[in-house]
Structure formats: structure tokens, C-alpha cells
Homo-oligomer: A and B are copies of this chain.
Amino acid sequence: MKIAIDGMGGDKAPGVIVEGAIEYTREFDHEVIIVGQEEVLKKELSKHDYKKDRIEVVHAPQVIDMGDSPISSIRSKKDSSISVAVKLVREKRASAIVSAGNTGAVVCAASFMLGLLKGIERPGISIIFPTSNSDNALMIDAGANIDPKSTHMFQYGLMADAYCRFLLGKNNPRIGLLSIGEEETKGTGFIKEAHKLLDDSKLNFIGNVEGRDIFTGACDVILCDGFVGNVVLKVSESLAGAVGTLLKRELSRNIVTKVGSVLCRSTFDALKKELDYAEYGGAPLLGVNGTCIIGHGSSSSRAIKNALRVATEFTKQNINEYIINGLDSYSRGR
């Protein structure tokens, strides 16, 4: 299998992209195509010892910056690393694309160039996170669609239902809509409309859930707009880090807690790992007709390696097929 990765996307590109790709090819038996400015990428590669038959560079002279407007940059920069990488997937020269670059631009390029699944009007980024009842849960959308319509939320519900059955092995996933109160009267107009669509559906919709319910495992799927989802994701990561810092500061205050802290260290490390999204590395963009994995802008090389791994799994397990079947069986009345 060959995965195309945007070599120029992300705050620490191309360095960490190249390193992550090299780590991935060392650990897994697959190939990577790094897309971007050939000279820059080859120079980066030359710093490392890597398997030359596993890593290919495909030239793309243009770079879409983090601040570029998504739609217009995809239109005006036809030879950007993002567009060229997506084109490789469209032409079946690669099985999937991974990018830690401008999320909006990746979403646009993937939607326009790969097309969307039948019945889906907008793709959504889906993330998995741990909850305090030892179970995992799924959130969609984590940032693809920041100003969605209520119908998009309903479609996210349909895709998440299928994805959650497959990925988390849940038979009839409990789907919640993120709002500011449990009552159906709570929330913006758009949330109230989405509530109605979901409530009238055959999905296992449990109603509105609140921010406090996300990490308790109150539901298996959280639906939210991409703006809120992105903020929640980043707040959670940062808060986990802040708790660690606060604990460390407190624990170093006296000898008793210092000893305690040494004894607990392995646990702190395990916990940090559980809450560290770099472990997951990337999140699939559900709804596009192909595999597209969105990485964090601040991805480390480990995150990039894991994003490539996620792309491989998503493709190998044919997850899109499963979602298509789910959408189809829903539209036929199940």
C-alpha cells in the first residue's frame, strides 16, 4: 500500500513530516509518497538513513499556508502539495492522503477532487477519545465544517452510527447532540433544528448532551459543529497538559509528596499517553470518497507516523465501504 502525505503541511513541516514518514516505513511494510517542493524534501531526506525503495518524492511547487483562504487557495494553487497529493489518490497512484496542513484547504481539495459519498453534503472530521467509564467515544465534527446546516449534523449522525458500530463494536450507538442544556429548547436555532431531525430519525438519538457529558461516556457519539468540536478537542488536550503541570508543581513542594510523586510516575506517564492525541496522530475525514486523514498542525514526527498508520488501517479495513452500506441501509428503511 502507498500513502501520499503532504510534505509541506504543518507547523514543523517539512522536518517532522519526513521524519514521521521514515519512522513509519521502518515500522510498517508500506510505502509513502511525500508531496511537496522536491529540492526541500530531498535535502531533508538526505539528513537521514532511510529505505529508499519505500519513500518516493513527488514534486509540487506551491505551498498553501495555514492562513490562506481554503477555497481560493485550492482554486489558485493547483500545484500545491495538498492538491497534488489528493490528485494521487484520485488517480489511484496512492491509497490515501495524510495532511497536517491547512485543514480547510484539505477538506476542500478532498471534497472537490474525490467527491462525497451518496447522501452526504459535507464531510466531517471524526475523533476518538477515552472516557472515564473505560470506554471510548467518538466526536464528529472536529473542525471540517465550522458553519454547518442542521442537515449536515444529521448526516454526521448517520456516518458516525456506521463508523461507531464498526470501529468501537457498539451495536446501537447512543448518539448525543452537544448543546448547552439537556432540554430540546436549549441551544441556537441551528441546534434545535438538528435536534428535531435526529429525533425524527431511526438513529438511537438520546437528545442533547452537555460539555460535562463528553468525558463521562454518557453517549457513544457526540455530534457538534466543527468550530465547537475543534475548540473542545484543543481545550481537552491543553487541560490534560495543564493538570500534569499543576500536579508536578504541587508535588515537588515537600519531601512526602515528592516521594509519592516518584512512586506514581509510571501512572502519570500512562495517563498522559491515554490523553495524548499524538498517539492517535490523525483523524479521518468522514464523507469523502477516499481515505483522507487530517493531522494536527502541531504534529510531531510520532504523530505523523501514527497518522500514516491510521490512514493504512482506514483503507485496509475498508471503512468507507462500511459507511456506504450504513447510509444505504438507512435510506432503504433499515
Instruction: Place the interface of chain A in its size category.
Output: 35 or more
Does the CB pair A264–B251 fall under 8 Å? Answer: yes
Does the CB pair B214–A235 fall under 8 Å? Answer: yes
A188, A232, A261: which has the most chain B beta carbons within 10 Å? A232
Does the CB pair B267–A251 fall under 8 Å? Answer: yes
In angstroms, Cα B177 to Cα A316, docked, is 41
Q: Does A314 contact B (CB under 8 A)?
A: no
Does the CB pair B267–A67 fall under 8 Å? Answer: no
Residues of B within 8 A of A297 (CB): 181
Contact of A146 among B180, B233, B256 (CB under 8 A): B180
Q: Does A239 contact B (CB under 8 A)?
A: yes
Does the CB pair B259–A247 fall under 8 Å? Answer: no
Residues of B within 8 A of A168 (CB): none
Q: At the interface, is chain A mostly helix, strand, loop or mixed?
A: helix
In angstroms, Cα B231 to Cα A268, docked, is 27
Q: Does A66 contact B (CB under 8 A)?
A: yes
Does the CB pair A230–B215 fall under 8 Å? Answer: no
Residues of B within 8 A of A261 (CB): 260, 263-264
Known: A146-B180, A228-B227, A240-B239. A212 touches B185 (CB 8 A): no
Q: Mark A185-205, 1 if CB is under 8 A from B, else 0.
A: 111110000000000000000
Known: A185-B68, A215-B235. A241 touches B132 (CB 8 A): yes
A76 to chain B, nearest CB (A): 14
Q: Does A39 contact B (CB under 8 A)?
A: no
Contact of A211 among B181, B231, B246, B253 (CB under 8 A): B231
Q: Does A62 contact B (CB under 8 A)?
A: no
Closest to A266 in B: B257
Q: Does A178 contact B (CB under 8 A)?
A: yes
Q: Does A143 contact B (CB under 8 A)?
A: yes
Give 20 new A-B contacts, CB below 8 A, not counting A232-B235, A260-B262: A66-B183, A67-B183, A67-B186, A68-B185, A132-B245, A146-B187, A180-B226, A180-B230, A210-B230, A211-B235, A211-B236, A211-B238, A214-B238, A215-B242, A216-B242, A239-B239, A239-B240, A247-B268, A247-B271, A257-B267
